[in-house]
A and B are shown apart, each in its own frame.
Chain A
Amino acid sequence: MAKLESFTLRDPLRESLLFNRRMMFTIGVVAILTLILIGRLFQLQVINNAHYTTLSEKNRVSIVPIAPIRGLIYDRNGVLLAHNVPSFILHVVAERVENMDATLSLLKQLITLTDKEIKLFKRKLRRKRSFVSIPLRYRLSEAEVARLAVNQYRLPGVQIRAELTRHYPIGALMAHVAGYVGRISEADLRQLDTSAYRASSHIGKVGVEKFYEGALHGEIGFQRVETNAQGRIIKVLERTLPIPGQTLYLNIDVNLQSVAHKAFGEDNGALVAMDPETGAILAMVSVPSYDPNVFVHGLETEDFQKLSKTPSRPLFNRALQGQYPPGSTLKPLLGLAGLELDEIYAYNPIDCKGWYMLDDDVDERRYRDWKREGHGATNLIEAIAESCDIYFYDLSYNLGIDRIHQYLSAFGMGKKTGIDLDGEVDGTVPNKEWKRRTYNEMWFPGETLINGIGQGFMLATPLQLASFTAALSQSGKRVKPHILKASQDPRSQQIQPIEPVALQSVHQIKISNWEIILKAMRKVVHGIRGSARGISHGLKYQIAGKTGTSQVFGIKEGERYKKENLKKKLHDHALFVGFAPYNKPRIAVSAIVENGGGGGSVAAPIVRKVMDYYLLGKKNEPELIKQP
């Protein structure tokens, strides 16, 4: 065949036929391929059109959450405690940065950038999702912003963002009450409704900021935006504005707070002042304090450790969380219990020799009075006014620990007051049951004596002391202590005041018995031998109160407490509780000065300064000042 072919002449007709057969075949192939294309396009554009339309919409439209503006916090007179200020933050999107080291070193030339900040930034960089910007420097100054803006072209991936940042103009003075916000942590995220916080970077961590987080935060807004492939917003399609957080007015009077704070001087301690009728907390001081503003941008672990490990514990809210032996401040309550038990007994004086011994004590242990030589013949009123321990040893012994527990509990001791702040602690009011439960031991009669003068197991917070003092001033009527005075809707400007919440009153107590106890408390300040008579000088109103000096350091039997021989931290705590004016109580205060020494000489003057300011030092209380 091959040989033959070489001789074959060209046959145009045959070649043409062959070509056309091939042509028919290719036309078939072209037709099939075209049908395949049409089939594919039909599949994409008709059958799966809905699917791809969704994908295209998802591509195009994204939902951008808008953070609500956090509610402002004012004191009762409209003094600003917390607000939001614009601040500039330097962000870096690592994926857009060509050379991170070069960029950082250039940034270092333009703005102040500490190694710490760079270290923190690099730590965050390792854990981030892609194309998420990481903050590098907070609180850029205007000059820094300008320098960065000029050099923007050299800094791809570097962005400056304006953000509203929480600021506390009053700082440390209100730190324990107002608290602070901080960056949302992993732990916060576990408890949060994350969808409501998608746009928020901060959350209340402590104090009012935490307790009223729900009201302050507001409601998140959204905008549906059309974005391009780079994620840049091209246009806004739809917008649901966020609802700003509520404006809060606190019961605290910042000036009063300041007076109280200053009155502590160099000492540590706490003070709570409340309106005994409404439960409004007028001042709540815990010294030392701290600057809440440093927490807003996040403290580094080391700095936080340093702050939390300071021996004076500035982060600790003593007013709410400090548990102190209440000492003699309990005596009016025990006196009331004694009167209710046996009135005649109460009027009978006992002979105070300076020590007390239980009848059946084989060890013959002597329980000492603070006054070594004793008070002599002392009745209940004198015992309260002069704070005679012997009288109350005897009374406690007669009452028994379970009845003491019953009366103290009725005044709210040993449990949380229910104030609108987080972290409050219970304190301790022991009884036999409690001791068995806690120590699995039986109760010793001697312990009744010790606890009866507010030592031993007995523990109370300054807030609890203020709360029972208020209850005493109101003859047993009790209200829940409250920080918040009113909230205000920033849009309607409508003010919603907080109504006082009544607690279970201390009832079934004779009016005459109240009068005896309150009279005794007045004598603490105004009596010639009152333990706080030092503050009565020049007083324009009458104070009823009770001093307390609680032991930090157990003095052995036969030893004498000598301040000079002890280290400061082993000195007694000085306490004073009181209310004023005597006839129509408007303020009830408790104060404790850690290791301050005597209650009458150290704590009572602080309380007087607070009362002076509140009752005399200012004009009539103005109504809520409208926000500027």
Chain B
Amino acid sequence: MNLNSSSSLDFGDERRISGGGRFLHQIHLDGPLLFALLLLSGIGLIVIYSAGSQDSGLMFRQILRLTLGFIIMIAIAQIHPRTLSHWAPWIFAAGILMLVLVLLLGDIGKGARRWLNLGLFRFQPSELMKLALPMMIAYYLSNSPLPPRKLRLLVCSLLLVFPTILVAKQPDLGTALLIASSGIFALFLSGIRWRLIISMFIVLAASTPFAWNMMHDYQQRRVLTFLNPESDPLGSGYHIIQSTIAIGSGGIYGKGWLNGTQSHLDFLPERSTDFIFAVLSEEFGLIGVLLLLVIYLFITARGLMIASQAQDTFTRLLAGSLTLTFFVYIFVNIGMVSGLLPVVGVPLPLISYGGTSLVTILAGFGILMSIKTNRKLVG
């Protein structure tokens, strides 16, 4: 049975790569993915310009961050997956150590302790963990046949739960959620039994009341507000109400670029960061939103294809996990802004203004590109 043609997902054939594509391949970049990411960044800049009330300063700072992000992506793409595999435990250990340090002596911003001050710049170790955890689990599971045995599963659970709790305690529910899902995706893709998955779901559901008690006041309030935003229209429900108004009033065609009233008249909070989707929806309507989703889906599909075509367990699990985590960003952010999910601080990848997660996301795509371009061609 031919591995490439029948049992793997085929989103494009190497043999059809053009000259430019070959060059990109040589510098370990994936053309379609790069193009989609650049397109997305461009759209993001356009929306940020509008959301920032035509303040080009905001846009230029975002351009700087994007440049840095793409450079890091390209740099990481040059690292061979094997090297990454070797580094995984060390990166993970370093990440855990920094998370503990953050809790002990991190800088406080916006009511949470998330940053480590490294003198020259501030560093958010939880972002590193978004990459370190799937790497670690993929590395750990790749050392033995799949599906993993019970002992390994237990170890993986610990690897997953420990950083998640550390981040959730900062408190940063959004990032904790993304870290946990990246680990869960790696585990799921490794083929653990459905019985186990279902029983884990039951345990999770049963522990909900316990988790509720563990939550901070503001987190509890967010969940309650999500369940009934009108209960507090000027307080915590304000975000959701105003963002659904922005999205809904955009209609099919939108109010036009720079013409969004919800955003330009300050009704929309956090409009250049977590709630930027509402600005985009208001100004570009359903058509703009669908276009955005198409690009996101293309990137997701491309990532899943890379995972599917990867040749060993480590790269397969890592690529799959990173891609699915990327999709979680999208789903959680859009779901939150449109009132489907409670408000958790998850940015809209490559569109939201802000540096740290942008760099992490692009670094993740660097890994994906490295996996894609370091395959041994079979056949």
Q: Do A and B come from one complex?
A: yes
Question: Interface residues of B toward A: which range?
Answer: 35 or more
Contact with B along A598-609 (1 / 0, CB 8 A): 000000000000
| Distance in Å: Cβ of A496 to nearest Cβ of chain B | 46
Q: Which of A505-535 contact B (CB under 8 A)?
A: none
Are B267's CB and A228's CB within 8 A?
yes
- Tell me which residues across on chain B come within 8 A of A26, comparing CB atoms: 185, 188-189, 304, 320, 324
- Tell me which residues across on chain B come within 8 A of A20, comparing CB atoms: 7-9, 308
- Tell me which residues across on chain A come within 8 A of B266, comparing CB atoms: 228-230
Decide if A122 is an interface residue (CB 8 Å cutoff): no
Decide if A304 is an interface residue (CB 8 Å cutoff): no
Are A30's CB and B286's CB within 8 A?
no
* A55, A60, A228: most-surrounded residue (chain B CB, <10 A): A55
Which of A13, A19, A48, A51 lies in contact with B189, CB distance below 8 A? Answer: A19
Are B189's CB and A5's CB within 8 A?
no
Q: Which of B17-25, B77-85, B145-153 contacts A (4 or more CB under 8 A)?
A: B145-153
Are A2's CB and B248's CB within 8 A?
no
Decide if B191 is an interface residue (CB 8 Å cutoff): yes
Of all chain B residues, which has the CB nearest A30?
B327
The answer for the CA separation of A48 and B246 in the assembled complex, in Å, is: 12
The A contact surface, by secondary structure, is helix
Decide if A187 is an interface residue (CB 8 Å cutoff): no
Q: Which of B177-192 contact A (CB under 8 A)?
A: 185, 188-191
Q: Which of B41-49, B209-217, B249-257 contacts A (4 or more CB under 8 A)?
A: B249-257
- Tell me which residues across on chain B come within 8 A of A228, comparing CB atoms: 265-267
- Tell me which residues across on chain B come within 8 A of A27, comparing CB atoms: 9, 304
Q: Which of B32-40, B97-105, B124-132, B330-338 contacts A (4 or more CB under 8 A)?
A: B330-338
The answer for the CA separation of A391 and B343 in the assembled complex, in Å, is: 100
The answer for the CA separation of A11 and B281 in the assembled complex, in Å, is: 48
- Tell me which residues across on chain A come within 8 A of B374, comparing CB atoms: none
The answer for the CA separation of A498 and B54 in the assembled complex, in Å, is: 62
Decide if A553 is an interface residue (CB 8 Å cutoff): no
Which of A8, A44, A49, A56 lies in contact with B261, CB distance below 8 A? Answer: A56
The answer for the CA separation of A354 and B285 in the assembled complex, in Å, is: 105
The answer for the CA separation of A52 and B307 in the assembled complex, in Å, is: 41
Decide if B245 is an interface residue (CB 8 Å cutoff): yes
Are B249's CB and A10's CB within 8 A?
no
Of all chain A residues, which has the CB nearest B254?
A45
| Distance in Å: Cβ of A196 to nearest Cβ of chain B | 30
Are A23's CB and B320's CB within 8 A?
yes
The answer for the CA separation of A26 and B319 in the assembled complex, in Å, is: 13
A41-B289 contact, Cβ under 8 Å, with A20-B9, A30-B327, A52-B244 = yes
A44-B189 contact, Cβ under 8 Å, with A18-B147, A228-B265, A228-B267 = no
The B contact surface, by secondary structure, is helix
Decide if A185 is an interface residue (CB 8 Å cutoff): no
Q: Which of B233-247 contact A (CB under 8 A)?
A: 242, 244-247
Of all chain A residues, which has the CB nearest B247?
A44
- Tell me which residues across on chain A come within 8 A of B267, comparing CB atoms: 59-60, 228-229
Are B265's CB and A227's CB within 8 A?
yes
Q: Which of A312-336 contact B (CB under 8 A)?
A: none
The answer for the CA separation of A6 and B190 in the assembled complex, in Å, is: 17
Decide if B316 is an interface residue (CB 8 Å cutoff): yes
| Distance in Å: Cβ of A360 to nearest Cβ of chain B | 87
| Distance in Å: Cβ of B318 to nearest Cβ of chain A | 12
Q: Which of A201-239 contact B (CB under 8 A)?
A: 226-230, 234
The answer for the CA separation of A583 and B192 in the assembled complex, in Å, is: 124
| Distance in Å: Cβ of B332 to nearest Cβ of chain A | 10
- Tell me which residues across on chain A come within 8 A of B339, comparing CB atoms: 40
Which of A15, A38, A52 lies in contact with B248, CB distance below 8 A? Answer: A52
Which of A11, A16, A40, A227 lies in contact with B145, CB distance below 8 A? Answer: A11
The answer for the CA separation of A20 and B308 in the assembled complex, in Å, is: 6
Are A42's CB and B286's CB within 8 A?
yes
Are B293's CB and A38's CB within 8 A?
yes
Are B327's CB and A45's CB within 8 A?
no
Decide if B300 is an interface residue (CB 8 Å cutoff): yes
The answer for the CA separation of A37 and B306 in the assembled complex, in Å, is: 25
Decide if A46 is an interface residue (CB 8 Å cutoff): yes
Decide if A124 is an interface residue (CB 8 Å cutoff): no
The answer for the CA separation of A216 and B221 in the assembled complex, in Å, is: 53
The answer for the CA separation of A557 and B3 in the assembled complex, in Å, is: 138
Are B293's CB and A51's CB within 8 A?
no
Decide if A143 is an interface residue (CB 8 Å cutoff): no
The answer for the CA separation of A30 and B323 in the assembled complex, in Å, is: 11
Decide if A365 is an interface residue (CB 8 Å cutoff): no
Are A229's CB and B265's CB within 8 A?
yes
Sample 15 A-B pairs with CB under 8 A, ordered by A number: A13-B3, A15-B146, A20-B9, A23-B304, A26-B188, A26-B304, A26-B324, A30-B297, A36-B335, A37-B335, A46-B252, A52-B248, A228-B265, A229-B266, A234-B265
Q: A2-B150, A30-B297 are in contact. List 9 more A-B contacts (CB 8 A).
A: A11-B145, A16-B8, A40-B339, A45-B251, A45-B281, A48-B248, A53-B249, A59-B242, A227-B265
**CB-CB nearest 5 A-B residue pairs:** A52-B248, A56-B249, A229-B266, A228-B265, A18-B191
